[in-house]
Structure 1
Amino acid sequence: MSDRRVVITGVGPVAPLGVGVAEFWSALLEGRNAVRRISAFDPGRFDSHVGSQVEGVAAKDFVPKGYRKAEKIMARDIVLAVVAAHHAVSDAGLRTKCLIERGDATGEPNLDSTRFGANIGSGLICADLAELAEALHNSSENGRFSIARWGTEGMNNLTPLWLLKFLPNMLACHVTIVHDCQGPSNTITCGEASSHLAIGEAFRTIARGVADVCICGGAESKINPMALLRQSLGRRLSRRNDDPATACRPFGLERDGTAISEGGGLVILEDLEHARRRGARIYAELVGFGAANDAAPPTQPSTPPADGRGAALALRKALRDAKLDPQALDLVSAFAPGIPAHDASEAAALKAVLGARLAEVPILAIKGGIGNNGAGSGALDFIAMVLSLYNATLPPTVNGRFVDPSLGLRATVGRSVDARVETAASLAYALGGGQNAALLIRRYRD
């Protein structure tokens, strides 16, 4: 490992609250709430009817003219990643192949494409039910699905490139093609921990000297009947259908589940000297990364450990990586999906690491206003933390008035507050169990 310092020079949030830095940050500061009844399809036959959706985005508006036809083989998750990538590179002031061809930037690229990497988190991309319907109908025999007929009859109803829409690595594939990222590339599929793990891997890649710049983060859409069904079967969703705005309650006393969502974000990480040479604006320095695994009982694979040991271990590893102790933390971005067992486990993890300081350290929890979109959720949490540190302001916690006092957490309620943050940590974990990750940032100083 070299001692190269890694800084954050661009962020590209794509969220139901807003697309791009300005919209997203403004919505957070105002405490807006995007959770409402799902309109993309009729959720009436499910237990949960609430979620949050990203409106008005299309990949064709963010790629070169010659690449627009590729949107035909982009699932919703891929579109979200392509949009996030455009905003991230633009925010960083990078002149990539895409921006130059679109006329959004002039001159030559201001980075070496062979040292421009990508690490993007992805989820289980849901197929379009309308596309599958005819294929499945023709694959039935005596009222039951036949794998033999699927091969001989069903697949004839699908286009030859159909599968390319749903491979998880295609988020990174399209982003790297469009922006000419020729450096190390990888896809992480570890549920809600995916974005943090992707950012952490990009951090290591730059620190080792293998790349100078990396675009990293994650995206996913759970606004799909299949995703809603899976989350419902896992009993992870709120049933407050009569009051969607209060459905998702991070660390809430009467929390009953999260709300499905879509979105994500990509971040530009950069070697400090590379950023300095091109005069880049620096949001913060990324100083620590930790990952850990916790084993769930075989009979309860989706139940997190009550003591939060996996999340606590990840946070301790990140602190050790940054050569810091818990006393240095003055902000924590919590994952806090509003699911009873998961929020309690995370609170226990924070208490285990912070001890008596738990009541003093502000907690940033944004899912009350956007819900959980899976692989992209961690990226939005991370971006919110970066912007809070950079702007010395903490957004209010949507539905923060419901926070369970017994957890001993300090949430910002009602309005944004001024707060000069020096060091902050962000946690993420897979709801299905196993993966935990933590990232540490620090206010940039020469």
Structure 2
Amino acid sequence: MCEACNQKAEILTREGESRRSFLGGTAAMATAPLAAAALSSEAKAQEAASPLGASNVQSWAAFDTSGSFAPHTIPRRAAGPKDVVVEILYSSICHSDIHTYKGDWGMPTFPLVPGHEMVGRVTGVGAEVTKFREGDIAGVGTMVDSCGECANCLADREQNCLNGTTFTYNSPDKISGGVTYGGYSKKIVVKEDFALRIPPGVDLAGFAPLLCAGITTFSPLNHWDLQPGQRYGVIGMGGLGHLAVKLAAAKGAEVVVFTTSKDKLEDAKSFGASEAYLWSDEDAMRRQMGSFDLMLSTVPVAYPMQPFLNMLKLDKTLVNVGALFPIEGAHGMMMGFGRQSLAGSMTGGIAETQRVIDFAAHHGIAATYEMITPDQIGAACEKVVRKQARYRYVIDMTKA
């Protein structure tokens, strides 16, 4: 428990004196069992009635690698002085959720409650919270805690915390014990430092995917400093890729999409791409050689990357944010002659995530999505795997 929580817990008697001092006195020693019972009963009553109290929450969980989701009750901790309680309205499906329950990155802890793209209404705030008030709209993304003290945290890169980031689900829970549970649920309790402000007037369901897909595709634009007029290639146009197109087009880049789905060619142009090509179009692929200032791969599985590396100008970079597996088909000699770079990136820090939210609100950008209800999660995940999503599935948690 943090120091602030200890301090607050010391003021528990009706007379306002320290509980520790009260229980240390002679009279208190004689009546300690009765006092403790009364305090325990009162605390439980207050906890049950308070929006800040611990609670059991409805969620939808995977119980094995098959992806069959079912209702499941999970515990949410009582809110501390710096916590906010968020009633989740919308939570979207990320391909990372699917990789996790399938065990692609190592066997998860079941029951697993995924979800790291969520938007909801603040229903409770701790006594020391300054960023939110009850009734505000907040978002929660890929992480819920970090040490806050290491060099990376101090540089607003909490996702790279040197002492271990706490991710939103299937991560060791340093506060409550066990593992963290994500946004396929009715409520979450999170430190205010890891909650994002959602501007008024936006499409809340369309903003949920910005909490992962948005920041994951926005962060490389900042780090590799994409400039207006530069040529930017987006490889794969699914949940991440379609937001990559929208965000880069809003920055004034010349966006070119490469997809394996013919029906996405026109979609790409409607999202802001100036050109779109099928991977199977060999002539078009050949014409792109040495023409890009920056490329982004959003494809969630490994594939030969050298044909796309060949499209980079001298000293330029292809950034992989999709396939979190061993990279295939990058040829050292060819990369050397072109002095091309193959880089990796992931989610951004909290400050940068707030930046993409504000950028999207300013430019009228939101995810393109299909709304589903919680009982459709399993089927929707399978459609994502089969590349049938257009382009994000958002779960309406108000239908839980």
Higher helix content, 1 or 2: 1
Identify the structure with bigger relative contact order (alpha carbons < 8 Å, sequence gap 6+).
1
TM-score for the superposition, normalised by structure 1 = 0.24
Larger radius of gyration: 2
Q: What TM-score do the two structures reach when normalised by structure 2? A: 0.27
Structure having the larger proportion of residues in strand: 2
